[in-house]
Amino acid sequence: MDAWLVALLAGSVLCAIQAIRATRLLTAAIWLAGVSALVSVALYILGAQQVAVIELSVGAGLVTVLFVFAISIAGEEAMAVRGIVPQPVGLVLVIGAVALLAYMVLPAVGVGSPVIEGSFSQMLWEERGLDVLVQIALIFAGVIGVLGLIGEGKAVPAATAPDTAAEPAAPAIAATEDSTHPAEAVAEAVERAPVPELEEVHA
């Protein structure tokens, strides 16, 4: 088991390095899928079967598809390879953080603790019920966010709401709100949600 784990983790770290080094986005996405697949196998070996399956299907499957999709829309782009943060600074910071973490976590190895039984579904639905609610809220927020992003800047045909179109009111709160009129939609996008100056609080 240990040998397998070493191989899997080493493989996933290699894939991760390749994903960062890749110059083409598509290649990076494929390497990321590799990381995800190897990690999910490692999870399986550790006994976290359910999460391994979720990770394989969602992490390696769905997210990769999304990446490919997004890359095909946004397109590859030639970009300076040199990072903005000087490489030595970055390396020192990251190695410092990881080394400190390792120094703090590794002594915990060998501190045994009693095994507490409980099935996955029981844990998920009963012990961590709030998490499920939070997940629902997250998904909802994600959907709203994506809808808002996709809807932004797109002029909706004038036929949507004739009587509201008469009143040009800039929706400041709901970014998801349909724009009412093509001409206004453009004007709205320009002056969208003029964030009030804090000083005006006292106006």
Footprint of other proteins on residues 130-169 (CB under 8 A)?
130-131, 133-135, 138-139, 141-142, 145-146, 149-150, 152-153, 161-164, 167, 169
Within 15-34, which residues bind other proteins (CB under 8 A)? 16-17, 19-20, 25, 28-29, 32
3-state secondary structure 36-64: HHHHHHHHHHCCCHHHHHHHHHHHHHHHH
Tell me: does residue 186 bind other proteins (CB under 8 A). no
Neighbour tally for 180: CB within 10 Å: 22
Tell me: does residue 65 bind other proteins (CB under 8 A). no
Say if residues 60 and 33 touch (Cβ distance below 8 Å): yes
Tell me: does residue 175 bind other proteins (CB under 8 A). no
In the chain the beta strands, taken as DSSP E runs, fall at none
Within 85-124, which residues bind other proteins (CB under 8 A)? 85, 87, 89-91, 93-98, 100-106, 108-110, 113-116, 118-120, 122-124
> In terms of CB distance, is 29 or 185 closer to other proteins?
29
Say if residues 31 and 25 touch (Cβ distance below 8 Å): no
